[in-house]
Structure 1
């Protein structure tokens, strides 16, 4: 990816404290972007910022709408945004709890609206173009056992992405999402360490492997970059063919 796509650009990455968000923040900083790294874990942010001086840590709980907007404001304008923060609470459908529903939708969906509104309104006022990538999941398009609320929240992310693309496109702000399969972050490796559980999922992936973090980071960077100027409103599977079967 050409570095000049990101030189003199400011990128906001939510959920940047670990996993995909952390790797993405570091990669974007390497490409020359100023990175606003958002997480509720101050310790994770300190470790991340110590690795590259182009990374600016912002510690805020994305469940707090007003605090989130206030935390973003000082760093505007932000031309590029990756809404990556998400949580998963697994339960069978018959055991879904109201509090778990609220937690997942607050982080996985509502925080996208909050952060994107703040950044997009500012870009529109300044008449600047931009690109937003929402991190969805294969769970948006396929039923996964014990993932009732998670599947619903990620389907909401993709629906939201399409409307954002339609409404913000007129202002030259592109909005797309990515739908990863199981990603082998530190948490992913623990969650899928059981061979029997892993074999069941792998059998549904034609490439017969899970995604590495870089497999998700690079497509996101492509969607942020000038190489994808006519891609808008797309939900891109990064799943080894899972959704094709």
Structure 2
């Protein structure tokens, strides 16, 4: 997808690997000034070598105070991609307080916090903006061992709608992308069981999982003026899974 984001500043969380990294690189290639936020500094170093000019920010988004300190003065942002997430695999009966809290702090609370900071800046500047939350098809269906993760993505669906409703009058659009399994480092955790992965793939009408590029293209569409009348929605990038 050829889109021009020249003159705009974008912030991408979870930008060190997978979908976030792909999004940061695509936005950079499309002319945007990119702020890349992630937990692992080594990932940021390699990303800035690949894409000189990207502004790196290393912070644990699960830590409210550290996030406020790192991003509170980040400056003007026109485009926001909330991609950072953790997938802590635990059967429901073995789910721990620590895993539950960590999942919601990173996957949901950080979306609220970072979006508040960015949206307030947009409103103060009187500019339109676009926010994309990277969710998952497990906002609607469940997989074994992912009770915490599925719950966070279900919460993100309603948070996305609430943000869209309240920020719409300020010309700020908020949407989500909801992919099936993407074989990033996180996605591979879900498919470690080869037999489960085989059966899961066969349940997709297209008989495949999603590629990082598939998800990135949907994110770019929602960030762009090509989706100017779309807000409070989610794009399924699920190879037809929910149709079956």
Q: Same fold (TM over 0.5)?
A: yes
- CA–CA distance in structure 2, aligned partners of residues 152 and 187 of structure 1: 17
Specify the alignment match of 1:244 in structure 2: 243
Deviation (angstroms), 1:75: 2.9
Gaps of 5+ in 2: none
Using the TM superposition, give the Cα deviation of residue 79 of structure 1 relative to its aligned residue in structure 2, in angstroms: 0.6
Matches for 1:9-158 after TM superposition, within 5 Å? 9-158=8-157
Is the 8 Å Cα contact of residues 87 and 186 (structure 2) preserved in structure 1? Answer: no
Q: Is this contact kept in 2: 1:88–1:104, CA < 8 A?
A: yes
Secondary structure of 2:50's aligned partner: coil
- Give the count of matched residue pairs: 244
Please state whether the residue corresponding to 2:73 is helix, strand or coil.
Answer: helix
Q: How many angstroms apart in 1 are the aligned matches of 2:193 and 2:173?
A: 39
Aligned-pair CA distance for 1:173 = 0.4
Give the SS at the match of 2:204.
coil
| Structure-1 residue corresponding to 2:222 | 223
Deviation at 1:72, TM superposition (A): 1.9
Find the aligned partners of 1:182 and 1:87 in 2 and give their Cα distance.
Answer: 14
1:188 Cα deviation after fit: 3.0
Please report how far the alpha carbon of residue 86 of structure 1 lies from its aligned counterpart in structure 2 after TM superposition: 0.3
The farther-off stretch of 184-193 and 112-121 is 184-193
**What displacement does 1:184 show?**
1.8
Offset of 1:105 from its aligned partner? 0.2
The aligned residue for residue 183 of structure 2 is: 184
Name the counterpart of 2:212.
Answer: 213
The answer on whether the counterparts of 1:33 and 1:54 sit within 8 Å (CA) in structure 2 is no
Residues 25-69 of structure 1 show CA distances to partners (whole Å, capped at 9, x for unaligned) of 111100000110001111110110111123110011101212212
Q: Report Cα offsets for 1:192-235 as digits up to 9, x if no partner.
A: 35431211211221100011110101100000001000000001
